[in-house]
Amino acid sequence: MLAQWSHRCMTRFVCKREFSDECPPPPTKFQTKHLKEIGKRQHDEKISVVGVGQVGIACSAFILQRRLTNHLVFMDIRKDWIKAEALDFLHASSTTGSQKITATVDGKEMAGSKYVVITTGLRPTKDQSRLDVAQKTTDMIVKIMPPLLEYCPNATFIVVSNPADVITWLIQKLGKLPKHRCLSTGCHLDSLRFRYFISKRLGVAPSAVEGYIIGEHGNSSVPVWSSVMVGGIALLRIMPDIGTESDKEKWSKVHEQVVKGASTVSSIKTYTNWAIGMTVSDVISALKDNSGRILSVATDVQGFMGIEDSVVLSLPCILTSDGIAQVVELPLTDFEKDMLKKSVDTLIKAQCSIKF
């Protein structure tokens, strides 16, 4: 199945080589080695979490609970706080088999990490979009990156800080990092929310729903209705105008719920953390397990889906232990193509607006 897809639907990806603007490389079977070795798991790799606030601590809880590492590093400016958080986890470490948690303000302790999760950043307030905090989060990221790049040059970076797409683009640029191992959870969380809201409407289990949100992790995200399958049934086949303005059943409301998902929770809690914590641990698990799972995560997708500029956004990607192995080029409807174009334009504008 994968082999067929890699010929029919996918193109090459960016690992270990850069594309020239003038001459995109021909389609190639990238990372074939890893696709063939899918399922071979690498054990005991160090994971660092940078920024151990509400999001960082939720990521850590699920990383530990899923036994994704035997050495977790907390890196934050609040030294005593993170020491206490580490101790709180360690008290129950006999339940998770976790060996070690280091709490530090010193980048050196992260040396040799296989995965670095970056959550340092500002939460948008009630009246702000994620893009509204781009410059302030940029200023924080510019300060934290030098030791991360010095001590973890070979890590896979997983960016959570908002606006996640713009900040991933920034980090790729600052670190000159290969695109396949500097990614954001991006729209994987939005896709999970999408599946949840569809499942609620249909009265089935969320796991019975397949489907992707792509584009910005934010207001211009794109619900790919043409990708939605429920119990083997493609919703587009039975509702050809699903999600469009002419859809009498107003499935577009499901996308509105996804877009408002974060603010619905944070208008009461002031933050969201559990869903993103589960999402981050799911992405790391997919990478570590060399799983070949296809998740809608974000990286620079220049050259894919007709996108000509360097822009970070989410498309379905095959994840292996070496990072993103392939990008899946979804066959979109014209309506979805228009939405994706708007998301690309929004993100390029945001990328151009930050100063670093």
Ligand X SMILES: NC(=O)C1=CN([C@@H]2O[C@H](COP(=O)(O)OP(=O)(O)OC[C@H]3O[C@@H](n4cnc5c(N)ncnc54)[C@H](O)[C@@H]3O)[C@@H](O)[C@H]2O)C=CC1
C-alpha span between 329 and 88 (Å, rounded): 44
* Residues β-bridged to residue 297: 315
Binding mask 251-290 for ligand X (x = CB under 6 A): --------------------xx---x--------------
Task: Name the closest residue to ligand X (Cβ).
Answer: 53
Asked if 74 and 85 count as a contact pair (C-beta separation under 8 A), the reply is: yes
Q: Is the CB of 36 or the CB of 78 nearer to ligand X?
A: 78
Known catalytic residue: 217?
yes
The interface with ligand X within residues 14-33 (CB under 6 A) comprises: none
Q: Is 164 in the site for ligand X (CB under 6 A)?
A: yes
Q: Is the CB of 123 or the CB of 173 nearer to ligand X?
A: 123
- Local structure of 92: helix, strand or coil: coil
* Residues β-bridged to residue 318: 294, 326
Among 50, 73, 170, 286, binds ligand X (CB under 6 A): 50
Q: Is 55 annotated as a binding residue?
A: yes
Q: Is the CB of 42 or the CB of 128 nearer to ligand PYR?
A: 128
Using the structure block, give the residue that is written with the tokens 């619900």: 223
Q: Is 53 annotated as a binding residue?
A: yes
- Cα dihedral 283, 285, 290, 293, rounded to 10, equals -50
Q: Write the CA distances from 12 to 25, 301, 304, 317, integer angstroms.
A: 8, 11, 9, 11
**Tokens read off for 211:** 């489907």
Q: Is the CB of 11 or the CB of 272 nearer to ligand PYR?
A: 272
Binding mask 144-183 for ligand PYR (x = CB under 6 A): ------------------x---------------------
CB of 216 to ligand PYR, least distance (A): 11
The listed partner (ligand PYR, ligand X, none) that binds 160, CB under 5 to 8 Å by sort, is ligand X
Q: Is 55 in the site for ligand X (CB under 6 A)?
A: yes
Pairing of strands 233-234, 71-75: unpaired
Q: Is 162 annotated as a binding residue?
A: yes
Q: Is 161 in the site for ligand X (CB under 6 A)?
A: yes
Q: Is 53 in the site for ligand X (CB under 6 A)?
A: yes
C-alpha span between 261 and 200 (Å, rounded): 14
C-alpha span between 8 and 331 (Å, rounded): 11
- The continuous run of DSSP H or E covering 54 comes out as helix 54-65
CB of 258 to ligand PYR, least distance (A): 9
Sheet with 233-234, side-by-side order of all strands: 209-214, 222-230, 233-234
Catalytic residues: 217
What are the residues binding ligand PYR (CB under 6 A)?
130, 162, 189, 262, 272, 276
Q: Which residues are annotated as a binding site for NAD(+)?
A: 51-56, 76, 160-162
